[in-house]
Structure 1
Amino acid sequence: MSDTSFHPAGFGSTAVHSGHEPNSAYAHLVPIYASSTYVYESAEQGMRRFSGEEDGYIYSRWGNPTFTEAEEKIAALEAFGLTGPDGGPLRVKGLLHASGMAALSTLLLSVLKKGDKILSHYSLYGGSQELMEGLLPGLGVDAVITDLRDLDKAEAVFKSDPSIRLLYLETPANPTMQCVDIAALTALARRYNCPVACDNTFATPYLQQPFRYGVDFIMHSTTKFLNGHGTAIGGILLGRDVERMKGPVFKTLKLLGGNANPFDAFLLINGLKTLELRMERHCDNAEAVAAYLERHPAIARVNYTGLASHKEHAIAARQMRRHGGMLSFELKGGLQAGVSFINRLKMCTRTVSLGTCDTLLCHPASMTHFSIPKEKREQYGITDGLIRMSVGIENAPDILADLEQAL
């Protein structure tokens, strides 16, 4: 068995080995613990577990050994190379969920109460925006949406509204690839005693570590790049206040019932092991695709943080290792040009979602952001001609050839 006292120095090694604990059957990989509940050696042991005096599994809605490895692996990657207040390695706690939306729901309902407000920015994932603006107001929690790329506007909101109790960031944002300055916004929120959460789905911990800049919470749709193969739905919420995560945040997860399942957790664990390799290839290919599209006469605009033409290129370059596998672009012919283009694709895949090994393209206005009113979509830069592209790990010449014939 491997020596668990050994701590790898590399990100890729950490992705492979972190979180894994030897089991009594000496299985090479973590088993799929397909058990809804767990037994106790005695009534007294059961009492100790329920009271919190003894660590151990009770019920798989509350925790499962397969979940634990996924949680600890992602926590190790988000905290990789970072130090905590005591000068030692940063400790963070992750809670695995059934989906990214379940993780977001746990975050919002554990932090916010009636009368509180959440401050966020233009161009969020459609489900996140609809939850904040459509569901939360019914619970007495309102969303304030402003352009957080402008720090003066952000501070004006904090100054004028003391009921702001959470700053929520998504950078790069879906699908316009807008970026906000995590460090500057977190420092601003600190002055107003406001916690900060960041959706890190697009970047992954390999490209961006929001904990480095002082955020309190990170969430992911693990369905995307972390799983990497489109085989399972999942989400995770991580926090740097470990006791808070084990206490009120965990209680919210238990009561909402948004827990993961062992098989999806197993698939996620295996996907995570190749994260570094996949992200490098995603980045290589996306850079080639963005450069090609920017030169193409049929394209009006390309949104990719790796291009010097991107408005937040400097911010992205400062807080990201590389610029990722996501981009969007607008065809000059608008909606009809977008429909025709997507219909002519031969190798690239017509579907929503992102982060898989194959290249995926979708039309946000009619798909991922369909539920957002048209005027708001356009205000956020999600026009009828916008195409979102998750660049896969195929050979770049093949991706470019398919785009060429479709355009």
Structure 2
Amino acid sequence: MQTETIAIHAGNLTHSTTGDVTPPISLSTTFFRDENGGYPGGHMYSRVSNPNRSALEKVMADLEKGTDACAFSSGNTAGMTVFQALPPGSHIIAPDDMYWGFKKQLQSIFEGILTIDFIDLTQPDLIEEHIKSNTAMIWVETPSNPLLKITDLTVVSAIAKKHKLTLACDSTFASPCFQNPILLGADIVMHSSTKYIGGHSDVLGGILVTAVQDELWSRIRNIQQIGGAVPSPFDCFLLLRSIKTLPYRMKGHAENAMALAKYLSVHPKIEAVYYPGLPSHAQHEIATKQMSGFAGMLSILVKGDARKVVNQVRLFAQATSLGGVESLIEHRASVEGPDTKTPQNLIRISVGLEHIDDIIADIEQALG
């Protein structure tokens, strides 16, 4: 089945006695056992599994072309579970332009437990130079946050396989509609489902999808079920509802973002536009090769005071996060804090689904 069809049907696992077309919310925390001690409904306790969560994991595994998925209560928890599943003392190679929440995790929570090298993953030769005897994983983020760097997954996958390393990819900015890292050689794909998958800025969540159910995946599943940082049945219901429209929402986000990027690329008050769909983007050819669309995120460098620009928008919401139907704008450096490496004149934009003329008009008046 094609992506649009998978998104609508793959999560419809529940067949209730009342014949619901849309799977109902299953709020029960515990489930009946039979006379032999088994669980005829397939679930024993909601921390371990739940009908809504199983449906969410099924549709996400299908969308990402994987064999299994684990849902979590946030994107940060999903990523942290991968790091937690690695043996203590492991070395990770990670991108220099990495989502600040994960970078903060690695530098604080896993300090003394894991060692990390943050390098420019758009330069594959650097990866080989940083592989050590205890290297266990290459963590890729493509497109990256906030500079929209594109890492060549096929090239990095070949390096990972050569050295028997796990390749994990944060594909949040792309969504499963525009990029399938597993088909390009990744072992694990991560999404903050709060973003495009949820799509309405009203639910928190994270997803991991695996290519193969190996020993590492067993540890990840064990941490999910025993640690218990799982989404509620209602959160899963909301995500399943949103996934049904995900392919069509992503088409709208990408169309609007491309139009805005083109407009800003020739604007006299803009120093640079970071959007992989533009031919001027440093990794445009790689993006074209491994993505079927360029999604709705872009960053710009303004000439002048970026804080002044974000304070003058009217239609855009000045707020963090991304992927909702509404357009969001933020001065990224002030979100990341005093140790940020993000340029002070950088503005990150999550292009929503409003009419493109209104989006451009609001940016124009804010820049003016």
TM range (shorter): over 0.9
**What is the identity, as a one-letter code, of the residue corresponding to 1:360?**
L
Deviation at 1:28, TM superposition (A): 1.6
Distance 2:337 2:183 in 1: 34
Deviation at 1:242, TM superposition (A): 2.5
Residue 155 (str. 1) matches residue 128 (str. 2)? yes
Q: Deviations over 1:338-359 (max 9, x none)?
A: 1111111111111000000011
Distance 1:355 1:304 in 2: 15
Bigger CA drift: 186-195 or 101-110?
101-110
Match of 1:94 in 2: 69
**What is the identity, as a one-letter code, of the residue corresponding to 1:401?**
A
Residue 141 (str. 1) matches residue 129 (str. 2)? no
User: Are 1:95 and 1:236, in contact at CA under 8 Å, matched by a contact in 2?
Assistant: yes
Number of matched residues? 366
User: Are 1:356 and 1:392, in contact at CA under 8 Å, matched by a contact in 2?
Assistant: yes
Match of 1:293 in 2: 264
User: Are 1:106 and 1:256, in contact at CA under 8 Å, matched by a contact in 2?
Assistant: no
Match of 2:49 in 1: 63
User: Are 2:11 and 2:240, in contact at CA under 8 Å, matched by a contact in 1?
Assistant: no
Counterpart of 1:400 (choices 335, 357, 360) is 360
SS of 2:169's equivalent in the other structure is strand
Q: 5+ residue gaps in structure 2?
A: none
SS of 1:96's equivalent in the other structure is strand
Q: Deviations over 1:53-107 (max 9, x none)?
A: x88211111110001111111111111xxxxxxxxxxx51001100011111111
Match of 1:83 in 2: none
Distance 2:216 2:57 in 1: 12
Match of 1:104 in 2: 79
Distance 2:203 2:82 in 1: 21
**What is the identity, as a one-letter code, of the residue corresponding to 1:248?**
R
Bigger CA drift: 384-393 or 252-261?
252-261
**What is the identity, as a one-letter code, of the residue corresponding to 1:383?**
P
Counterpart of 1:124 (choices 98, 101, 106) is 98
Match of 1:10 in 2: 2
Bigger CA drift: 244-253 or 201-210?
244-253
Bigger CA drift: 55-64 or 286-295?
55-64
Distance 1:255 1:125 in 2: 27
Q: Deviations over 1:365-398 (max 9, x none)?
A: 111x226x14xx1xxxx10110000000111001
Match of 2:142 in 1: 171
Distance 2:312 2:80 in 1: 38
Deviation at 1:244, TM superposition (A): 4.1
Distance 1:28 1:203 in 2: 29
Match of 1:20 in 2: 12
**What is the identity, as a one-letter code, of the residue corresponding to 1:263?**
F
User: Are 2:210 and 2:217, in contact at CA under 8 Å, matched by a contact in 1?
Assistant: no
Distance 2:252 2:7 in 1: 17
Deviation at 1:243, TM superposition (A): 5.1
**What is the identity, as a one-letter code, of the residue corresponding to 1:117?**
H
**What is the identity, as a one-letter code, of the residue corresponding to 1:11?**
T
Match of 1:82 in 2: none
Deviation at 1:245, TM superposition (A): 7.0
User: Are 1:118 and 1:142, in contact at CA under 8 Å, matched by a contact in 2?
Assistant: yes
Q: How does 1:344-355 map to 2 (within 5 A)?
A: 344-355=312-323
Residue 305 (str. 1) matches residue 248 (str. 2)? no
Q: How does 1:322-333 map to 2 (within 5 A)?
A: 322-333=293-304
Distance 1:193 1:13 in 2: 35
RMSD of Structure 2 on Structure 1 (CA) = 1.4
**What is the identity, as a one-letter code, of the residue corresponding to 1:61?**
R
Q: Deviations over 1:232-284 (max 9, x none)?
A: 00011111122547732211112322111111110100100011111111011
SS of 1:215's equivalent in the other structure is coil
Deviation at 1:41, TM superposition (A): 2.2
Residue 391 (str. 1) matches residue 365 (str. 2)? no
Distance 1:205 1:280 in 2: 12
Match of 1:40 in 2: 33
Between the aligned residues of both structures, percent identity stands at 34
SS of 2:311's equivalent in the other structure is helix
Distance 1:246 1:189 in 2: 17
When residues 370 and 281 of structure 1 are mapped into structure 2, their CA distance, relative to the original with a 3 A threshold, is: same
**What is the identity, as a one-letter code, of the residue corresponding to 2:49?**
G
When residues 181 and 25 of structure 1 are mapped into structure 2, their CA distance, relative to the original with a 3 A threshold, is: same
User: Are 1:358 and 1:391, in contact at CA under 8 Å, matched by a contact in 2?
Assistant: yes
SS of 1:137's equivalent in the other structure is coil
Q: Deviations over 1:133-160 (max 9, x none)?
A: 222123x2111111111111111112xx
**What is the identity, as a one-letter code, of the residue corresponding to 1:12?**
E
Distance 1:396 1:342 in 2: 18
Counterpart of 2:23 (choices 26, 30, 38) is 30
Q: Deviations over 1:158-179 (max 9, x none)?
A: 2xx1111011000000011011
SS of 1:229's equivalent in the other structure is coil
**What is the identity, as a one-letter code, of the residue corresponding to 1:127?**
G
Distance 1:18 1:78 in 2: 12
Q: How does 1:212-361 map to 2 (within 5 A)?
A: 212-242=183-213, 244=215, 247-333=218-304, 337-361=305-329
| TM-score, normalised via structure 1 length | 0.87
Deviation at 1:10, TM superposition (A): 2.1
Match of 2:61 in 1: 75
**What is the identity, as a one-letter code, of the residue corresponding to 1:234?**
G
Distance 1:145 1:12 in 2: 36
**What is the identity, as a one-letter code, of the residue corresponding to 2:333?**
A
